[in-house]
Amino acid sequence: MKGERALARIFLVRHGETLWNRNFLYQGQKDIPLSEKGRKQAKKLAKALEREKFSAVYSSDLKRAYETALAIASPRGLDVICIKELRELNFGKWEGHSYEELQKKYPVEFPMWLNDPGEIRPPEGENLRELTQRVVGFLRKTAKEHKNEDILVVTHAGPIRAVLMSILDLDIKHFWKFKISNASITVVNLDDSGDVCSDGSFIIKVNETAHLE
């Protein structure tokens, strides 16, 4: 039909739980593996997604994402393609600390970052605009390569929020208002232009966790 465009359906999955998640520590790009609970969550994800026919499985190259992706891909005989661009936000020197610790240790820098995370970087880290550019840049390219296909992308809360923000064309200040739980499923469609802001791109579901109950 005239006007219709090819779509790539992208299943955005957040990795399972880690001990740092449980202890409310900023992980960023520290390579923390799944906890025992996280491995169980990954198995539940695999069960929940077993009827989906993925043409490819992409993952952040960090252990917690890769382990989650492997649990889903291995029963299908699919390889997991590791992509650095799918890593979590780089929190720099703040990684390994809790919110409360950062408030005390960085009484000036931390509140400034909370108020303007789009422009301000954590020490030796990156800001949210840089995160969004690398994640959305990867998805633009990938959507063009997988027209009319379903693909799985296993990543982190930050990248998933960045995709949702871009599709909705929201101001960066709304970034933290999306709850993205461990082992949750978010699904979006991107049209064949690869432009996440186009009229042909839309959100199907956000933060589905019923499979974990």
153 vs 130: CA distance, rounded Å: 19
Sheet (strand 185-191) strand order: 80-83, 54-60, 150-155, 7-14, 185-191, 202-208
| DSSP-assigned letter for residue 13 | E
Q: Which residues contact 107 (CB under 8 A, 6 or more apart)?
A: none
CA neighbours closer than 13 Å in the CB half-sphere of residue 58: 21
Q: Is the dihedral of CA 136, 181, 34, 43 positive or negative?
A: negative
Determine whether the annotation assigns residue 142 to a binding site. Answer: no
Determine whether the annotation assigns residue 17 to a binding site. Answer: yes
Determine whether the annotation assigns residue 95 to a binding site. Answer: no
List, in sequence order, every residue forming a beta bridge with 13; answer none if it has no partner: 154, 185
Determine whether the annotation assigns residue 89 to a binding site. Answer: no
Determine whether the annotation assigns residue 15 to a binding site. Answer: yes
Active site positions, annotated: 15, 88
Residues annotated as binding site?
14-21, 64
